[in-house]
Amino acid sequence: MRAEAQRRLDLVLSAGAALLDAQAALVAQVEQAMADANAKRKQDMAILTQARVEAGEAICDVNLQKVDAWIADRLAWAAKMPESYRKKHLVQELKDTQAKLHDDFDALRA
């Protein structure tokens, strides 16, 4: 009787160990699946972010070109003015504004 009880106990213990091993394998499998999904999500997010950054930079480039054209038009208009403090001040303000805008855009891209 004692041998039968030991055999049954050993059977329960081995079944428990097998279940724990199966659980550990399942946990490892799920953890790997989660890590893979997380890596894919991060990669997709990086691609999406890069696309959005490039689109934003393209918009900034277009707007900066518009501002440059506007300033060039005003500088051409100012060139026709007679020499005066007002002309020098206007030309300097336009050039300073243009340089500041370019510096600001460059700083945002850095």
Q: What is the pLDDT of residues 29-44, one digit of tens each?
A: 999 999 999 999 999 9
Helix (H), strand (E), coil (C) string for the chain: CHHHHHHHHHHHHHHHHHHHHHHHHHHHHHHHHHHHHHHHHHHHHHHHHHHHHHHHHHHHHHHHHHHHHHHHHHHHHHHCCCCCHHHHHHHHHHHHHHHHHHHHHHHHHC
Residue-range definition of the domain harbouring residue 51: 2-109
Contact (CB, 8 A) for 101 and 67: yes
Q: What is the total count of domains within the chain?
A: 1
Yes or no: say if 100 and 67 are a contact pair by the CB < 8 Å rule. no
Position 1 scores a pLDDT of 75
* pLDDT digits 0-9 by tens, 11-21: 999 999 999 99
